[in-house]
Amino acid sequence: MVSCPFCNMDDTRILARNQVAFAVRDKFPVNPGHTLVIPWRHVASWFETTEDERTGILSLLDQSKAELDAARDPPHGYNLGVNMGEAAGQTVIHLHVHLIPRYRGDVEDPRGGVRHVVPERGNYLLDPSHMSGQSDV
């Protein structure tokens, strides 16, 4: 995949690696420490990975989080995110898992977290009228 930026990763950017995946800082970070964990094999989605790849990706997520937690100003929380498919916002069609450090005050109201991928429906506490009486919280 010549045009894939993750298949042609500059080795100097790699923070950690194992047999199946590697970790790098995001070139366009949402917050300081924003990290991507990427399988070496070119696959588009989480659902195309093998069990070994999933285990290796999760291991690097744990390692990356531990390193961020040990920093001078550690994050107060984290979001994990995976965009799969154009409709979900995936722009590089090579699986990459976002580990996004969160800090108190980085947004006005963080409630809802990843639910804000659909902004109007993210904070169910403000307008629960779109809920059918069911809740996943």
Q: Active-site residue numbers?
A: 96
List Cβ neighbours of 36 (8 Å cut-off, separation of 6 or more): 23, 24, 25, 26, 96, 97, 98, 99
Dihedrals phi, psi of 57, to nearest 5 degrees: -65, -45
- Number of CB atoms found within 10 A of residue 59's CB: 15
In DSSP terms, which residues pair with 38 in a beta bridge?
22
Q: What is the DSSP string of 67-97?
A: HHHTSSS--SEEEEE---SGGGT--SSS--E
Write the DSSP symbol of residue 51: H
